Amino acid sequence: MDCDFDSYEAETTRQIRAKSLAKEFALDFTLNNNDERFPEGGILFSGHSGTGKTHLAVSILKTLLKKGNKCLFVDFHDLLAEIRSSYDEISQFSELQILRPVLSCDVLILDDLGSQRMTEWMQDTVFHIVNIRYQQKRSLITTTNLALEPEKGSSKESLRERLGQKVVSRLYEMCAFIELDGTDHRMHRKESSDANRNRMEPDRT
């Protein structure tokens, strides 16, 4: 994934602040974190699609890997699908084998948390991951498109409603919350590309 701090183009005040905090976190990170700015030891990036949450999370990961930390990037949807497939009789992997690196790595980047509606076993699985890392004081960096708490007048589920009280309660203690805003970078790039392409096409009228 071609993401680093230099390639992240911050467009809003919140994005500038998020980039600065993420970079400071990555550069100053130690396994026995005693940074007064990040006493939680982790980060939760929230905001709608295309604002750079995953870009910043991957930028942190790359920095920490260079420092020798054992890090793992996991897509939330893919992880649940992989665990679900382990229940198949012909699967070569058990749920325990799938979760072992997720639970034991120094820093877990869990991308797009709460990206789908949750069944009871999904909620139990997420709680197990978060709780084990909480108990063992292992860092968690996660991203989500959802608001952390229910918003008045909104019909969209919040992270608390989707994951449950126990998970969000631990996230409050484990992660500094950084919210991003702005336009969808992916849509903006596509619109710019289409506009350039249209300008280059000859007029056939």
Token representation of residue 14: 């919140």
The mean pLDDT of 35-51, rounded to a whole number, is 88
- Torsion angles phi and psi, residue 139, rounded to 5: -70, 145
Alpha carbon separation from 179 to 25, 29, 39, 44, 120 (Å, rounded): 15, 20, 18, 8, 28
**What value does the mean pLDDT of the chain take?**
87
CATH superfamily of 13-200: P-loop containing nucleotide triphosphate hydrolases (3.40.50.300)
The mean pLDDT of 92-121, rounded to a whole number, is 91
User: Does the pLDDT value for residue 20 go beyond 80?
Assistant: yes
Q: So what's the pLDDT on residue 112?
A: 96
pLDDT tens per residue across span 189-204: 544 444 454 555 555 5
pTM here?
Answer: 0.85
Question: Does 34 or 171 have the greater pLDDT score?
Answer: 171
3-state secondary structure of 46: strand
Domain ranges of the chain: 13-200
pLDDT tens per residue across span 132-148: 999 999 999 999 999 99
Locate all alpha helices (DSSP H) within the chain, ordered by sequence: 13-28, 53-66, 76-85, 95-104, 120-135, 159-163, 165-174, 185-200
Q: Give the integer Cα–Cα distance in Å for 57 and 100.
A: 21
Q: Give the integer Cα–Cα distance in Å for 60 and 62.
A: 6
Q: So what's the pLDDT on residue 193?
A: 46
Percent of the chain with pLDDT over 70: 85
